[in-house]
Amino acid sequence: MQVIKDHYLRILSPLAKRWDFTIRGFGEEGVKPGKGAITLAAHDELEPSPTADPNDERFDWLTGTIRGVFGEDVVVAPMLLTGI
């Protein structure tokens, strides 16, 4: 999540400077007051989960279950994406 926050700050900082706006980024106050302010906030922010270790016994269980349902030709990668 920090990478995304830094990306937004990097993109918006030159614009804010050009228009003399202060950026309040993700709970941090701007350094100097300007003509206006851009406030950035994140809603329900979560850091991404780590990737599964393919050598872990639990990954073998998951792989076996997936292949049992979808067939032996399925390639199982050590990452699980969920639809939200």
pLDDT, tens digit (0-9, with 9 covering 90-100), for 36-63: 888 888 777 777 777 767 788 888 898 8
- Examine the domain organization and report whether 22 and 59 are in the same domain: no
Note whether 29 and 55 are same-domain residues: no
C-alpha triplet 26, 11, 30: angle, nearest 5°: 40
CA 60, 62, 68, 71 torsion: positive or negative?
negative
SS3 9: helix
Mean pLDDT of 8-12: 88
72 has a pLDDT exceeding 90: yes
Residue whose C-alpha is closest to residue 56's, from 38, 71, 76: 76
What integer best gives the mean pLDDT of the chain? 81
- Domain encompassing residue 71: 49-84
Residues 57 and 33 both lie in one domain? no
Tell me the C-alpha distance between 8 and 18, whole Å. Answer: 16
With a pLDDT cut of 90, the percent of the chain lying above it is: 15
